[in-house]
A and B are shown apart, each in its own frame.
Chain A
Amino acid sequence: MKVPVVDVRDLKTHIVTRWGTIRAVDGVSFTVAEGETLGLVGESGSGKSMTCLSILRLVPRPAARIVGGQVLLDGDDLMTQSARQMQRIRGKRVAMILQDPMSSLNPVFSIGMQVREPLTSYHGLSGKALASRAVELLTAVGISSPAARLRAFPHQLSGGMRQRVVGAMAIAAPPRLLIADEPTTSLDLTIQAQYLRLLKDLQERHRFAMIFVTHNLGIVAKMCDRVAVMYAGRIVEAGPVATIFAAPRHPYTRALLESVPRLGAQTEWLTAIEGQPPDLAALPPGCAFAPRCAHVMERCRAEEPPEFALEAGHTSRCWLDAPA
């Protein structure tokens, strides 16, 4: 077993709302090793983005609060670092790419200023070394005529180009852990293919661990080594990508995989998941998926299933997988 770069243990983040306290992240644990990619899959509100923000301790305060758990980055617990130390960790040891590049880039500063900023503050570069490193980074993410692009402003670049700039800033350090939160959702298909390839190449070069948040199962199949499926703040199933796709165990994972139309499949009807995504402020007792589950049993409505270990790194939170 490889030593994990990041080891998340029993992470809990709660959000206080008018309707009560929402357990947005409810006891999430996982590890990601060097050069490995973990896919974090789930619907909106499943807690995947909140998990990522919690790792960086960037949850929207005061409403949201990390109430428990540990995040070990190369052995250091991020939850016990001072605010000042955290600031040095973000961007340097842990980098993040968000869905909308415009929310990561400041519209009133040139690309050059924004790419150079972390290089100055984290690496103490200046003068010629700084200028050439900035060009080098843009070249590394496949931006043509980088010197000219550095003088441009974000609005002058296309969406794919902007996301590449964000990628360049993310790998500046290079980081030990890269969190990519739906980085290609706002990109066109052929541009998405380019960007996914780029992320893979960068990972091969820098060997960072990657957490890839997406709701697109196709991207998981293509990009990830392992996958964790989230539902209502919990990881309901986790395991190697090949196993999860070939032999999913949790009824939610199974339903999710079956509900997606496939190219080449001549099916008349899709297998739809009945019901609506859960209301986090009013979760049922027992298993959160029980109201929509095709295999629901008496027990599911009363008792919340714990995590059951199946074969080789495959876990499932379902009473169906309880050892007999």
Chain B
Amino acid sequence: MSAALLEAEALTKHFPVRRGILGRPAGLVRAVDSVSFTIEAGKTLGLVGESGCGKTTTSRMILNVEAPTSGAIRFDGAPLVGLDRDGLRRYRRGVQAVFQDPYASLDPRMRVGTIIGEPLVINERPSASALRRRVLELLDLVGLPERAVELFPHEFSGGQRQRIAIARALALSPKLVVLDEPVSALDVSIRAQILNLLRDLQKRLGVAYLFIAHDLAAVAHMSQTIAVMYLGKIVELGAAAEVALRPKHPYTQALFSAALPLDPGERPTEIILSGEIPSPLDPPPGCRFHTRCRHVMERCQRDEPPLAPESGRLVACHLYPSSATR
């Protein structure tokens, strides 16, 4: 086992729901419910799941914009909770983000040079010449020409804007970058460019990624480990190839069978789930997936299955013996 860069332990986030003008508490959205995982230095953890499964809330807790209700995040061995101001500043430098929409994430009134240099100015107060040198270096790193410094975001296409966002995220040489749907807003022909760039940067800089996307093939391509979430819980966690090609949890199986193959001849047994994703305000008792599961048993409606080892990965499902004999 290589060094854990970031460890999330029993990470939980509940949002109170208030109703009426008095704001009386009317319930609790269990957005993320006791989720644990590890991101290793220089590696990629892929996080997949449908809307409302808690993947974005998880990433917001890692970015420290949302405080966990309970549970802990440890970065380089140090818990995030006890950090003082200097510690937090170091943490924020070490963990950066690239978001889905490069049209929304770049200030239209700032020149690209200023956008990329801003994190440096705030954190390092470099001299003008050092700043310029570093900005040009970053532009080169993401494959943009030097003259981009003087231009505004609107002068760039979507793919180039995402390169700018990546350069900004890398400005402080972070150890972890959270990539929240980094290619879904881009044209198909541009996606491969950006995925290749991200992989190349990881090789060269040794940065770790938390890769969140709904394109399962892209996640499988980019990640060493995949965590599958459903209604705030991790239902399966393991090596990317195993989870993607030999999924064990019925939800993972359905999800990856819904990922469309690129070969019209190959139409694998498709699993079409019935029903919709239940509201996280009122998740089903027992296993949260039991309302849509093909293999539902009586105990699934009662007992929540723990995440337990099965065929070299972790699965939370009563189908598997290791959780039954627990």
Q: A193 and B188: CB pair below 8 A?
A: no
Chain B residues within 8 Å of chain A by Cβ, number: 46
Inter-chain contact B160/A197, CB cutoff 8 Å: no
**Which of A190, A222, A266, A292 is B255 in contact with, Cβ under 8 Å?**
A190
Q: Are A263 and B196 in contact (CB under 8 A)?
A: no
Closest to A216 in B: B260
A77 at the interface (CB under 8 A from B): no
* Contacting residues, chain A, for B270 (C-beta < 8 A): 193
Judge whether B263 and A245 touch: CB under 8 Å: yes
Q: Are A261 and B50 in contact (CB under 8 A)?
A: no
Among B195, B215, B273, contact of A194 (Cβ-Cβ < 8 Å): B273
Check if B216 sits within 8 Å of A263, measured CB to CB: yes
Which one of B50, B188, B193, B245 contacts A215 once the chains associate, using CB atoms below 8 Å? B188
**Which residues of B are found within 8 Å of A269, using beta-carbon distances?**
196, 199
CA distance A43 to B193 in the complex (A): 15
* Contacting pair A43 B273 (CB below 8 A): no
Q: Chain B 152-169, CB within 8 Å of chain A: the 1/0 string?
A: 000001011000000000
User: Are A218 and B160 interface neighbours, CB within 8 A?
Assistant: no
Residues of A within 8 A of B222 (CB): 261
The digit string for B265-290, where 1 denotes a CB below 8 A from any CB of A, is: 10100101110110000000000000
Provide the bound-state CA to CA distance between A292 and B261, in Å.
26
**Is B217 interfacial (CB-CB < 8 Å)?**
yes
From A160, A188, A267, A276, B159 is in contact (CB under 8 Å) with A276
Question: Across the interface, do A259 and B220 meet the contact criterion of CB distance under 8 Å?
Answer: no
Contact B262 A260 (CB under 8 A): yes
1/0 per residue, CB under 8 A from A, across B248-259: the answer is 000000111111
* Cα(A191)–Cα(B190), bound, Å: 26
Cβ of B262 and Cβ of A277 under 8 Å apart? no
The answer, among A218, A245, A267, for a CB contact under 8 Å with B259, is A218
Which residues of B line the A interface, CB within 8 A? 50-51, 157, 159-160, 187-193, 195-196, 199, 214-218, 220-222, 241, 244-245, 254-265, 267, 270, 272-274, 276-277, 292
16 A–B pairs (Cβ distance < 8 Å), ordered by A: A44-B187, A190-B292, A218-B261, A219-B260, A221-B264, A222-B260, A261-B217, A262-B262, A263-B220, A264-B244, A269-B199, A270-B221, A271-B192, A273-B192, A273-B193, A277-B190
Extra contacts, 18 of them, besides A190-B272, A221-B260, A245-B263 (Cβ < 8 A), are: A43-B187, A189-B214, A189-B255, A191-B50, A193-B254, A217-B188, A217-B262, A218-B259, A218-B262, A221-B261, A241-B264, A242-B265, A256-B188, A257-B262, A259-B188, A262-B217, A269-B199, A273-B189
> What are the nearest 9 A-B pairs in CB distance?
A218-B260, A261-B221, A259-B192, A188-B50, A272-B192, A193-B258, A270-B192, A273-B189, A221-B264
Residues of A in contact with B (beta carbons under 8 Å apart): 43-44, 158, 160-161, 188-194, 197, 215-222, 241-242, 245-246, 255-257, 259-274, 276-277, 292
